[in-house]
Chains A and B, each alone.
Chain A
Amino acid sequence: MEENLNTIELNEMKEQISLLRRKLEKETIVNEKLIRASMRDKLKAVKRRSYILCAVVIGVCPLWANPIFDFHSIWFMGVTIAFLFIAVAYEIYCNQLLSTQNYVSGNLIDEARKLSRYKQLSRQWHRFGIAFLCVWLPWFYYEATTAAGFFAKNVLIGGLIGGVIGGTIGFTIYRKGQNAVSEVIEQIEELTGEKESH
């Protein structure tokens, strides 16, 4: 098998990779500033997003309870706050799968499988979120137009418009992220299939 692999293409590639290494050896590539920045930035972007979400929810909850919004329905406030807390809990749970600890000792397939599981959970959450919003938005509109006071009404309608715009942008970003890993997920299935057949 090894002999078969020594084709012109692969030999040529070995020479090309040596060339690349020689070229890179002459370059500085990493500077002091970059190393220091990396040592400071222990937090992965995805975890940072979770912490931001937690901070937003904790910051938003007192607002909902504020008398300025003058809601008649305690149920509306309760359901909304419960949803936000569930969102945070789910996000934290999903992020357990993306622990950098696995990057150090785990193999590529296991790590990519976890990524695939993370994406699957995110997809399920977005489906649930959209279904929830379909119920929540009309309820919100009802609260804003009938139950709330004049000032709160304007704030809430502004929030509703902002929410719809934000939701659309968020969904677009989410779709892009989902598509990006589909190639990896496809290949895990292919490799797992091969593993089982040999």
Chain B
Amino acid sequence: MKQEEIEFAQMVRTHKETIYTVCYMFANDADEVNDLFQEVLINLWSGLGQFRGESKVDTWIYRVSLNTCISSDRKKKQATVPLTMDINLFEDKDEDTRQIQMLYKRIHQLKPFDRAIVLLWLENMSYEEIAAIVGITVKNVSVRLYRIKEQLKQMSNQ
């Protein structure tokens, strides 16, 4: 393996949770998570040469992951290599997974951009960072988050 490939593999392993979380929140089932995950890795590798460290690595990974998931055309594909997972977050029934499924259900009901905004907010990103990634104003981030909060409240009341 070349040095660049070793670094890429290391970066993917370090940030696997971020990539998986985004793919999970945009997918409808485990197969789709697989497909999206693989698509994100391809895009990360393709764009690695252009990443010059102007932003933080995790911000860049979020940007590529969200762009991939939002813009994916959702045609049924078949990932060539399956993910290595001992758990199934869509089907397992233990208490922890039940909590995660509750989170999935809440986020998945939101529109795609709102899903992205709330995910970034949950990762404790600043309004400025969220605004830069999504492409809206800081004020608009604040307005959207307020509306998302209202939507989530309504979901809980239903």
Contact of A5 among B13, B20, B37, B146 (CB under 8 A): B146
A-B contact count, CB below 8 Å?
206
Residue of A with least CB distance to B46: A100
Give the number of residues in A that approach B within 8 Å (Cβ atoms).
Answer: 65
Q: Assess whether B12 is interfacial by the CB under 8 Å rule.
A: yes
Residue of A with least CB distance to B4: A39
Contact of A104 among B13, B64, B99, B152 (CB under 8 A): B64
Per-residue interface assignment for chain A, residues 154 to 198, with 1 indicating a CB less than 8 Å from any chain B CB and 0 otherwise: 000000000000000000010011001101101110110011001
Q: Assess whether A28 is interfacial by the CB under 8 Å rule.
A: yes
Q: How far is the CA of A7 from the CA of B68 in the complex (A)?
A: 30
Q: Assess whether A134 is interfacial by the CB under 8 Å rule.
A: no
Residues of B within 8 A of A107 (CB): 63, 132-135
Asked if A105 and B50 sit within 8 Å, CB to CB, the answer is yes
Whole-angstrom distance from the CB of A195 to the nearest CB of chain B? 6
Chain A at the B interface: SS class:
helix
Q: How far is the CA of A34 from the CA of B123 in the complex (A)?
A: 26
Residue of A with least CB distance to B82: A34
Per-residue interface assignment for chain A, residues 1 to 29, with 1 indicating a CB less than 8 Å from any chain B CB and 0 otherwise: 10011011110011111011101110111
Q: How far is the CA of A134 from the CA of B136 in the complex (A)?
A: 44
Q: Assess whether A148 is interfacial by the CB under 8 Å rule.
A: no
Q: How far is the CA of A117 from the CA of B84 in the complex (A)?
A: 36
Chain B at the A interface: SS class:
helix
Asked if A177 and B83 sit within 8 Å, CB to CB, the answer is no
Known contacts A17-B103, A33-B81, A111-B67: A100-B47 contact under CB 8 Å: yes
Contact of B136 among A25, A45, A46, A191 (CB under 8 A): A191
Q: Assess whether B57 is interfacial by the CB under 8 Å rule.
A: no
Whole-angstrom distance from the CB of B128 to the nearest CB of chain A? 13
Asked if B80 and A37 sit within 8 Å, CB to CB, the answer is yes
Asked if A27 and B86 sit within 8 Å, CB to CB, the answer is yes
Q: Assess whether B142 is interfacial by the CB under 8 Å rule.
A: yes
Asked if A108 and B149 sit within 8 Å, CB to CB, the answer is no
Residue of B with least CB distance to A184: B112
Q: Assess whether B36 is interfacial by the CB under 8 Å rule.
A: no
Q: How far is the CA of A62 from the CA of B68 in the complex (A)?
A: 39
Residues of A within 8 A of B137 (CB): 195, 198
Asked if A108 and B46 sit within 8 Å, CB to CB, the answer is no
Whole-angstrom distance from the CB of B158 to the nearest CB of chain A? 12
Residue of B with least CB distance to A100: B46
Q: How far is the CA of A32 from the CA of B13 in the complex (A)?
A: 10
Contact of B81 among A31, A188, A194 (CB under 8 A): A31
Known contacts A27-B84, A27-B87, A184-B112: A108-B47 contact under CB 8 Å: no
Residues of B within 8 A of A102 (CB): 67
Chain A residues packing against B (C-beta within 8 Å): 1, 4-5, 7-10, 13-17, 19-21, 23-25, 27-35, 37-39, 41-42, 44-46, 98, 100-112, 115, 173, 176-177, 180-181, 183-184, 186-188, 190-191, 194-195, 198
Task: List, sorted by A's number, 23 A–B pairs whose CB atoms are closer than 8 Å.
Answer: A7-B149, A9-B156, A10-B122, A13-B107, A20-B21, A23-B97, A24-B16, A24-B21, A27-B86, A28-B84, A41-B38, A101-B50, A104-B43, A104-B50, A107-B134, A108-B70, A109-B113, A111-B70, A112-B70, A112-B113, A115-B71, A191-B140, A194-B143
